[in-house]
């Protein structure tokens, strides 16, 4: 028996058996299991199991940290043992420096995150944001890759326009890069529809078709379909991602209801046909107009706030984003980012919100300097800072600033200062979503990366100054006063 099979069987034993799972999949370092009944899960036995490096319990999902490479193999083996082929791989690395032994920062971050979430009962809104995250997380690598390629194409095009590059020589290169980029963005609705169908429990192929309806393929300008509320012609793509999510959610309901009374012998014919016809008509004549109005309103409001509020709006958004991340509510913004990219080519919201993580970096640097006698805390900061600079904030949140209380608040102030700089400069957008921190620089649109870098530096400096002078608890300055089981405060 291979070690992967041995670990898979032992995990099943400790989680209440194969029958206690709805879904098993994985990310780079973790096996993710949707649990039916957490009462049947023996967390203590799981934590003691050889090969398991950590446990994170999140609402109805159990995340088992086993390390890179092995997470895919164990998830595959568990699905093989359960007889269900539904494994997928989420290309998300929540433990970027994971080795065979957990670092101190990761250990404390996982423990504090677990404690925090166990002490805060999940709400319907948090469940909703978790569902939204499940739809979009698998697409993040695509957003990053296609966004960077599109950014390179824009740089070349700008150089051609300025006369620095020969159009005859470089024009084809720009066309090729844009074709690759549009492999995602031109058909994004369909990818989201398929993922949403997985999450909502609808048939994946039907989810893709319902999402594709929004493109209104086959409609001609000479004979357009009319918006039943305004009488104006419907526009292909109207409603965007928000419309796709609504339509596929409705599809999941219709499918489930039809299967309650359609005979098994007719299900393959009747259910998909009636589902597509019913949801398709509602998508065209109800969802597209309503979602189009909502999408345009959200994008308009965000742009108005950033353009009119300037530095003040940037400060508020940058300062209050970190608490959203802490509560897991930031995922609700993903459809707004995508709609802004669809409407204007870039999201001006993301660079401002990215300042929150930079404020944490500044706060951690201040703690490192002022608490240098506390070797335990300094080692934790050393392990958390590199990924924090790259825009992965969880280690700093749950292992450093949040357990100490005041540094979390001063980190938010630093994020607000960075947001004020970016908002004050204005029109700083990102061509794709995914990374933040330094990793977002290649995705900044229209060559305004220097404005984004100035925001990062301001957030670093603001978080550092606010924490150094006002945010360092006296007890944290003493040697080895920061324990693994530090309680979350403030």
Query: Which residues are marked as active site?
Result: 27
Q: How far is CA 412 from CA 162, 353, 354, 362, 445, in A?
A: 40, 11, 11, 10, 26
| Cβ-count burial 29-58 (b if 16+ within 10 Å, e if not) | bbbbbebeeeeebeeeebeebebbbbbbbe
- Indicate the pairing of strand 54-58 with strand 30-35: unpaired
- For residue 70, give every residue at least 6 positions away whose Cβ sits within 8 Å of its Cβ, in sequence order, or none: 4, 7, 51
Which DSSP letter does residue 488 get? Answer: P
CA-nearest of 363, 332, 364 to 349 is 332
Q: How far apart are CA 283 and CA 228, in angstroms?
A: 12
- For residue 199, give every residue at least 6 positions away whose Cβ sits within 8 Å of its Cβ, in sequence order, or none: 131, 134, 135
Confirm if 365 and 448 have CB atoms less than 8 A apart: no
Q: How far apart are CA 128 and CA 404, in angstroms?
A: 30
Q: Given CA atoms 478, 366, 317, 140 in this order, what sign does their dihedral have?
A: negative
Element (H, E) at 34: strand 30-35
């Amino acid at each position: 028996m291979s070690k992967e099979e041995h670990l898979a069987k032992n995990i099943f034993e400790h989680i209440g058996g194969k029958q206690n799972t709805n879904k098993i999949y994985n990310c780079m370092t973790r096996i993710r299991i949707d649990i039916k009944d957490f009462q049947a899960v023996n967390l203590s036995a799981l934590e003691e199991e050889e090969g398991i490096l950590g446990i994170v319990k999140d609402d109805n999902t159990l995340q088992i940290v086993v390390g890179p490479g092995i997470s895919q193999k164990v998830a595959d083996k568990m699905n093989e043992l359960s007889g269900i082929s539904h494994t997928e791989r989420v290309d998300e690395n929540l433990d970027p420096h994971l080795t065979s032994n957990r670092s101190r920062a990761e250990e404390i971050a996982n423990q504090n995150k677990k404690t925090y979430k166990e002490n805060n009962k999940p709400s319907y809104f948090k469940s909703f944001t978790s569902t939204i995250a499940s739809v979009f997380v698998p697409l993040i690598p695509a957003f990053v890759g296609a966004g960077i390629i599109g950014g390179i194409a824009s740089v070349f095009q700008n150089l051609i326009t300025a006369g620095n590059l020969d159009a005859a020589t470089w024009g084809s290169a720009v066309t090729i890069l844009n074709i690759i980029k549009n492999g995602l963005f031109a058909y994004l609705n369909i990818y989201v529809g398929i993922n949403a169908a997985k999450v909502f429990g609808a048939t994946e192929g039907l989810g893709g078709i319902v999402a594709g309806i929004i493109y209104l393929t086959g409609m001609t300008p000479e004979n357009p379909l009319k918006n039943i509320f305004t009488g104006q012609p419907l526009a292909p793509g109207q409603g965007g991602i928000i419309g796709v999510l609504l339509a596929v959610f409705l599809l999941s309901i219709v499918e489930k209801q039809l299967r309650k009374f359609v005979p098994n012998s007719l299900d393959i014919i009747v259910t998909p046909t009636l589902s597509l016809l019913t949801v398709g008509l509602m998508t065209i004549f109800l969802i597209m107009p309503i979602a189009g109005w909502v999408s345009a309103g959200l994008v308009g409001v965000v742009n108005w706030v950033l353009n009119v509020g300037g530095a003040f709006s940037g400060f508020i958004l940058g300062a209050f984003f970190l608490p959203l991340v802490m509560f897991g509510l930031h995922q609700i913004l993903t459809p707004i980012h995508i709609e802004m990219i669809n409407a204007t080519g870039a999201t001006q919201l993301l660079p401002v919100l990215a300042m929150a993580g930079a404020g944490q970096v500044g706060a951690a640097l201040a703690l490192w300097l002022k608490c240098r006698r506390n070797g335990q805390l300094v080692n934790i900061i050393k392990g958390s800072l590199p990924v924090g600079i790259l825009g992965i904030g969880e280690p700093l949140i749950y292992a450093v600033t949040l357990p100490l209380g005041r540094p979390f608040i001063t980190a938010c102030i630093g994020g607000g200062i960075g947001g004020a700089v970016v908002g004050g400069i204005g029109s700083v957008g990102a061509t794709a979503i995914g990374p933040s921190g330094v990793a977002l620089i290649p995705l900044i649109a229209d060559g305004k990366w220097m404005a984004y870098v100035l925001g990062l530096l301001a957030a670093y400096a603001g978080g550092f100054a606010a924490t150094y002078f006002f945010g360092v608890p006296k007890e944290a300055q003493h040697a080895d006063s920061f324990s693994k089981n530090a309680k979350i405060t403030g």
